[in-house]
Chain A
Amino acid sequence: GQNIDQPTEMTATEGAIVQINCTYQTSGFNGLFWYQQHAGEAPTFLSYNVLDGLEEKGRFSSFLSRSKGYSYLLLKELQMKDSASYLCAFMDSNYQLIWGAGTKLIIKP
Chain B
Amino acid sequence: DAGITQSPRHKVTETGTPVTLRCHQTENHRYMYWYRQDPGHGLRLIHYSYGVKDTDKGEVSDGYSVSRSKTEDFLLTLESATSSQTSVYFCAISESGATGANVLTFGAGSRLTVL
Contact = CB atoms under 8 A, between A and B. Distances in A.
Interface of A: 4, 30-31, 33, 35, 41-45, 48, 50, 87, 89, 91, 95-102
B70 to A, nearest CB: 22
A44 B106 contact: yes
A98 B101 CA distance: 14
Contacts, number: 52
Given A48-B101, A50-B101, A100-B42, A43 B108 contact: no
A101 B41 contact: yes
A97 B107 contact: no
Interface of B: 40-45, 58, 90, 97-109
Residue from A31, A41, A97 having most chain B Cβ neighbours under 10 A? A97
Contact of B107 (A33, A42, A89, A98): A42
Contact residues of B: prevailing secondary structure: loop
B99 A42 contact: no
Given A95-B98, A98-B42, A48 B108 contact: no
Contacts of A43: 43, 90, 104, 106
A89 B42 contact: yes
Given A31-B101, A91-B100, A100-B42, 7 more contacts: A4-B42, A43-B90, A87-B43, A95-B102, A97-B43, A98-B42, A99-B44
Contacts of B106: 42-44
Contacts of B109: 41-42
Given A87-B42, A95-B97, A45 B103 contact: yes
A30 B100 CA distance: 5
A69 to B, nearest CB: 16
